[in-house]
């Protein structure tokens, strides 16, 4: 593998791991699914258990059809099938830059990732407000 490409893969994987680390210990099943989808696209792995804090959370989880609350779920169970993840930065974060406004518009940064091929596309876009009729 080309040295520059290898370093970029390490940087992207490290950034994704840092971004996912904030979900540790929360018990939020939606956040776990989102983190699992992103990690699958990066060729990573994770496991998760639901840790409801009260009876209301237990009822919400079981209402979604989840019966095994104590089970350790694999990454494939958290994000099934072929996964595509798309995200845009709103404010600056570890992985994406936030929206930057200028006199005539704004710039945004987005990422689109696909689990089947571990393809990662970073998109830097410039939006010119005068050419957007809906604004």
Residue that is last in its domain, among 80, 100, 123: 80
Residue that is last in its domain, among 43, 64, 80: 80
Is 23 in the same domain as 66? yes
Q: What is the pTM of this model?
A: 0.68
Under 8 Å between Cβ of 131 and 97: no
The residue segments making up the domain with residue 40 are 3-80
Question: pLDDT per residue over 11-31, tens digit each?
Answer: 555 666 666 565 565 556 777
What's residue 23's pLDDT? 55
Is 24 in the same domain as 52? yes
Is 70 in the same domain as 16? yes
Is 7 in the same domain as 73? yes
What's residue 34's pLDDT? 86
Q: Is the pLDDT of residue 99 over 50?
A: yes
Under 8 Å between Cβ of 19 and 38: yes
Alpha helix (H) residue ranges in 52-107 = 55-63, 75-78
Residue that is last in its domain, among 80, 107, 123: 80
Averaged pLDDT, 57-67: 87
Q: Is the dihedral of CA 29, 31, 34, 39 positive or negative?
A: negative
What's residue 97's pLDDT? 95
Q: Which two tokens stand for residue 84?
A: 């595509």
Is 30 in the same domain as 69? yes
Averaged pLDDT, 73-83: 92
Phi–psi pair at 116, nearest 5 degrees:
-60, -40
- The number of distinct structural domains making up the chain is 2
More confident position, 36 or 19: 36
What's residue 20's pLDDT? 59
More confident position, 48 or 20: 48
What's residue 103's pLDDT? 93
What is the C-alpha to C-alpha distance for residues 3 and 56, in angstroms, rounded to an integer?
51
Is 75 in the same domain as 91? no
Is 10 in the same domain as 52? yes
Is 47 in the same domain as 75? yes
What's residue 24's pLDDT? 60
């Amino acid at each position: 593998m080309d040295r520059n490409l290898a370093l970029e893969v390490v940087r992207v994987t490290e950034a994704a791991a840092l971004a996912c680390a904030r979900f540790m210990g929360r018990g939020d099943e939606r956040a776990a699914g989102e983190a699992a989808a992103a990690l699958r696209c990066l060729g990573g792995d994770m496991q998760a258990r639901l840790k409801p804090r009260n009876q209301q959370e237990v009822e919400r989880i079981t209402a979604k059809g989840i019966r095994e609350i104590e089970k350790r779920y694999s990454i494939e169970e958290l994000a099934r099938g072929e996964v595509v993840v798309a995200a845009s930065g709103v404010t600056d974060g570890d992985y994406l830059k936030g929206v930057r406004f200028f006199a005539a518009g704004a710039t945004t940064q987005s990422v689109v990732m696909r689990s089947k091929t571990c393809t990662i596309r970073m998109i830097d876009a410039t939006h010119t407000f005068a050419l957007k009729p809906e604004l």
